[in-house]
Amino acid sequence: MDKRKLGNTDLLVSPITFGGNVFGWTLDEKNSFEILDGFTDAGFNLIDTADVYSRWKPGNAGGESEKIIGNWIKARNNRNKIVLTTKVGSDMGDGKKGLSKKYILEAVDASLQRLQTDYLDLYQSHFDDLETPVQETLEAYDQLIRAGKIRWIGASNFSPERLKESLETSQRLSLPKYQTYQPEYNLYQREGFEKEMEKICADNQLGVISYYALASGFLTGKYRSEADLEKSARGGGVKDFMNDRGFKILKALDEVSELYNSTPASVALAWLIARPTVTAPIASVTSLTQLQDLTKAAALKLDNEAISILDDASAW
């Protein structure tokens, strides 16, 4: 499988990232191991998680995903074969959140312990912290890079203004620079990224790792009526897409899928992979059957006509 350079780093990554939010939520440890084995056996290597995954599940405290991945890494002894990224900044409860230097230095050690590794390939600011100056956050990352605990840094869910301020501060003060950006981006949700953030990422050569690549499963085509919303724990997040524009996009996905003897999920991911600014969209699966869609997407090369069909149907 072809690998892509992630931003201006020396990291070579597969064209799809596995989203670890399902570990400890809709997948227990045994099934998580099965999916992670299948993902890496298929030639993929980029695994994304966050300290807060999956705190939202009743009974969870956060860190469940990192613990499962850490147990898997230890069991498979494969740390050097994967590119591992986690995130900091989300609310972990008890006032543990944000991007202050003090908190980042504490949070990274907790993540490293759960992941059972002594370094992260990529450490990302999960959400911006408007109460903390960007310089303070970057100085924390500088300290961690010097200590060998992290290699590169990335950002997620920033405003255009704060991302630009961070990049300018890095250059002005010779501090570590964000090398990646993680936006919500897919065939349905295009405007938020394309309107302003895409140009910033392109101008600064940021690797883009887009989340909700399948719009919470809507772009797989399995949700086509209200009754379908009961099909999974994530169905509730799909209702907003069930409108004229959403169904127009599904129709285009069906058309292109038929042309390529593929599936809507594979085509939706292949559309993202074909975007010049996107490095490796994030997708999650909960079965080996679904994993086949990721493998097919990575090998699927859409021609200009197919991309135009999808572009037109999803225009904003």
One DSSP character per residue, 128-176 reads --TTS-HHHHHHHHHHHHHTTSEEEEEEES--HHHHHHHHHHHHHHT--
Range of the domain at 152: 4-182
270 within some domain: no
Calculate the average pLDDT of the chain.
96
In the set 53, 103, 123, 212, the catalytic residue is 53
Q: Tell me: the pLDDT tens digits for 28-66? A: 999 999 999 999 999 999 999 999 999 999 999 999 999
Report yes or no: 241 and 187 within 8 Å, Cβ to Cβ: no
Q: Tell me: the pLDDT tens digits for 181-223? A: 999 999 999 999 999 999 999 999 999 999 999 999 999 998 8
At residue 231, the pLDDT reads 63
How many whole angstroms from its chain centre is CA 99?
Answer: 19
In the chain, what percentage of residues exceed pLDDT 90? 93
76 within some domain: yes
Stretch 120-124: mean pLDDT, rounded? 98
256 within some domain: no
Q: Tell me: the pLDDT tens digits for 274-307? A: 999 999 999 999 999 999 999 999 999 999 999 9
CATH label of the domain that carries residue 122: 3.20.20.100
In the residue annotation, 181 being an active-site residue is answered as no
- Number of structural domains the chain divides into: 1
253 within some domain: no
Q: Tell me: the pLDDT tens digits for 173-183? A: 999 999 999 99
At residue 239, the pLDDT reads 85
78 within some domain: yes
66 within some domain: yes
Q: What amino acid occupies position 310?
A: L
Residue indicated by tokens 């898997």: 72
Q: Tell me: the pLDDT tens digits for 130-143? A: 999 999 999 999 99
State yes or no: pLDDT of 226 exceeds 90.
Answer: no
User: How far is the CA of 38 from the CAs of 104, 202, 233, in angstroms?
Assistant: 32, 32, 22
At residue 235, the pLDDT reads 56
294 within some domain: no
